[in-house]
Structures are given as structure tokens and as C-alpha cells.
Structure 1
Amino acid sequence: MSTRVPSRQLTGVHVLLMLVAFFGIVIAVNVTMMKLAIATLPGTEVDSAYSASLGYEKEIAAARDQDGRKWEVGAHIERLADGAAVLQVEARDNAGRPVTGLKFEGRFERPTDKRADLAVTLEEVGIGIYRGQIEAIAPGQWDLVLEGDAKGRRMFLSKNRVVLN
């Protein structure tokens, strides 16, 4: 005697439920991935390309003025054991004399994520020597942006890629 298990028949209702379940899962995954992508989007470099283009001529003029001054500005970054970094900037004019009285600011910018950018204010600690410390900066590639202002006018701007260990 053999016992036979009755087989289930595939009906139109079953196929409909399988299709609805399949596409429901696909849509749910797509919505989740879209929300995560939007939440982690680092943003754009500038808010308005048109506004940035209007200031382009001023940037060219400022770069020409800076080039005409022929300043020598050097930066040194020293990593501390606790993960902090000390940034020291030395500025000299075209005759090799220290440039004093500037307000220097530095920014460590992540090339891939603007949300990780860190600012450091530099104080003049000697004649033509500016120093500041930034706490707990992660290792890796950074863009070091240095800006030197005198009486509200930008006198110096540089952007250099640095690697912190």
C-alpha cells in the first residue's frame, strides 16, 4: 500500500501573491537605500554655481595680488601622541623679513566629505610665526587651507593636500 501526498495546485491567486511579495520587497529595499543615500550625501562644493562664477574675477585679481607680493609661507604639522595636531605657519615677505600682524586661519578639509572639515585658529606666537592646535584629528588625507587676513582683506590663500598618520 502506498500513500500518496496530495499536490498543491498553483492558482492565479498564488501567482498574484508571489508577484506582490516580490515587488514589495524590491520597492522596500529601494526606498531604504534611497533614504540612506540621501542621509549620507556630503553635499555640494558650492550652493550656487552662478553665484560662485560671479566671484571668479575677484578671485583671479586676489590671486594676482598675492602672486605679486611674492611671500614665502611655509606650514609644518606635528602630530601629538593623543591624536591632536599642532599647525605652525611661518610667513616671510619677498625680502625674507617676517610678516607680522596677520590673522591666519587654517582648515583641514576632507576631500571626500565636507562634514568632516575642521577649523583651527592660529595665534601669532613669534615674529611672523603663527601656531594653533586642533584636537583629535583623524589620520588620512586632508586638504590644508590657509588664509591670512590683514584688516579684513585677504592677503594670502593656499590649499595643499597633506597626509596625516
Structure 2
Amino acid sequence: MIQPDPRASKLNRRFTGKHMTGILVAGFGVVIAVNFTMAALASSSFGGVVVENSYVASQKFNGWLDKAQASDTLGYTVTALLRADGKVVLTTSGVATGAQVIATARHPLGHQPDRTLNFVAGPDGAWTSTAALPDDRWTLRLSITDRGREWRGERALP
């Protein structure tokens, strides 16, 4: 008579509902854990609301496009540089010496408060901020006003 192999009983175990329940619980557990992790990372890195009311912003959009086009026709070019002392230097072309130059420095992720910078024209034609920024990454929202005309632009500071 042939003796049954003792290893065969382990290989022939039945797949039961308990096995299926374990697989489902483990699979959904992984999906839920990944979703919570991604949601936590996304909400911790979001800097804030872009607009308060998207419907109102959509009604103003064409006006913003018109202002942007009028701003582009002025032909200003602006280059921003952050000096070692934290002051911002703007190199411009086409901007008159008597213009008013203001910028709002925004942290890209909103981890630092916005800062308003005023600029004064130097003898070399460059504009230097009157206040210094902390050493970090910043985005400048620039506004140059000259004889009733306004130019707006955005520049990144490393």
C-alpha cells in the first residue's frame, strides 16, 4: 500500500471565507492608509486659497486679461535679484526714474507672511528695496506705476 505524503495535506488546504476576508481587509487597509497619507501631505503643503470666490473671479477674468494686455504694451522688462543682505534689486528697461515700484513678496507655500516692499531708484538705474527679505524662496508680485499707467508682473527669487 502507498503511504500518503505528509506534505500533501498542507498543499491541499481549502481556501475559506476567512482567507478571503483577510485578503479584502488587508487590501482595503493599504488603500485607506495610502489615501490618508496623501491627503495629509497635500493639506500640509497647500499655501492657501487662490481666490475667495471662484464665481466672482470668473466674472472679472476678461478685465484681468485686458489689464494684462495693456501692461504688456508698455514694453517694460524687469529682472529681480536677491542680494546677500536680503534686499531685492530690480534691473529694468523702459521704466522712467519717477515711477513708483512696489512688490508683494509671497512665500511659494505660504509658510511665511506676505511682505510689502517699496523700491527706490539708484544712480545706476536699478531699483533697490528699502527692506530686506529673510533668506528663503520668494515670489515677487510687482507693480510699476508711471503717469497713470500700470505694469504688473511676477518674478521668482531663488
**TM, length-normalised to structure 2:** 0.61
Unaligned residue ranges in structure 2 (runs of 5+): none
Query: Contact 1:85–1:135 at 8 Å: present in 2 too?
Result: yes
Distance, in Å, in 1 between the alignment partners of 2:58 and 2:92 is 30
Pick aligned residue for 2:150 from 139, 144, 155: 155
Cα deviations across residues 69-117 of structure 1 (Å, max 9, x unaligned)?
A: x26352331353xxx854222556x5x53144443223353xxxx4568
Residue 67 of structure 1 deviates from its aligned partner by 3.5
Question: 2:127: which partner in 1?
Answer: 129
- Residue 46 to residue 34, structure 1, CA distance change in 2 (3 Å): farther
Equivalent residue pairs, number: 143
Q: What is the SS of the residue equivalent to 1:97?
A: coil
Residue 49 of structure 1 deviates from its aligned partner by 4.5
Structure number having the greater strand percentage: 1
Distance, in Å, in 1 between the alignment partners of 2:31 and 2:62 is 44
Select the structure with the greater relative contact order (CA < 8 A; seq sep ≥ 6).
2
Structural mapping, 1:16-165, within 5 Å: 16-41=17-42, 42=46, 46=51, 49-68=54-73, 70=74, 72-78=76-82, 80=84, 85-90=86-91, 94=94, 97-107=96-106, 109=108, 114-115=109-110, 119-126=114-121, 129-131=127-129, 132-137=131-136, 144-148=139-143, 155-160=150-155, 162=156, 164=158
Distance, in Å, in 2 between the alignment partners of 1:59 and 1:124 is 25
Query: Contact 2:103–2:116 at 8 Å: present in 1 too?
Result: yes
Supply the RMSD in Å over aligned alpha carbons.
4.0
Q: What is the SS of the residue equivalent to 1:77?
A: strand
Residue 155 of structure 1 deviates from its aligned partner by 2.5
Unaligned residue ranges in structure 1 (runs of 5+): none
Query: Sequence identity of aligned pairs in percent?
Result: 12
Residue 57 of structure 1 deviates from its aligned partner by 1.9
Q: What is the SS of the residue equivalent to 1:55?
A: helix
